[in-house]
Amino acid sequence: MLTDTTGVSLGVDNVLHSLPVSSYVLPGIFLSTVMGVLPLILAFALLAGPNWKWATRMFGWSTHYWAWTGTLVLSGIIVLWLAIEGLLIGFWPITYITAILALLIFFLCVSPSMRKYYANG
């Protein structure tokens, strides 16, 4: 989406007219960040457990470790993105697969053992 902002190389140029943008630059940046960089940061943090003060302050309202909370928030953002995408351009097979994965991540996070493991205090 960032290398070919028209969507021709991905075969999605025919749906660009249904979107509120004129090119795939903004969706590409959003997807690279939300489905690429952020999940990597959160996965690292969940495994390594760094105590980053900026992240702790960002999720200070939560009673759980910041990366756990971030994972829940991110899974909700992904489901919301997919719902909006589905309404705008229709639901494709990858939409369902990604939604199922996001919901699976959400339900794994809220399982009692994960909630207990990542609880602050």
68-89 average pLDDT score: 92
Three-state secondary-structure class, residue 121: coil
What single string gives the DSSP state of each residue in 22-87? SSSHHHHHHHHIIIIIHHHHHHHHHHH----HHHHHHTTT-SB-HHHHHHHHHHHHHHHHHHHHHH
Region of poorest pLDDT, from 9-23, 33-47, 100-114: 9-23
Q: How confident is the model at residue 1 (pLDDT cuts 50, 70, 90)?
A: confident
Q: For residue range 20-64, list pLDDT tens digits in order.
A: 989 999 999 998 999 899 999 999 999 999 999 999 999 989 999
Q: What pTM did the predictor assign?
A: 0.84
Judge whether residue 121 has pLDDT over 80. Answer: no
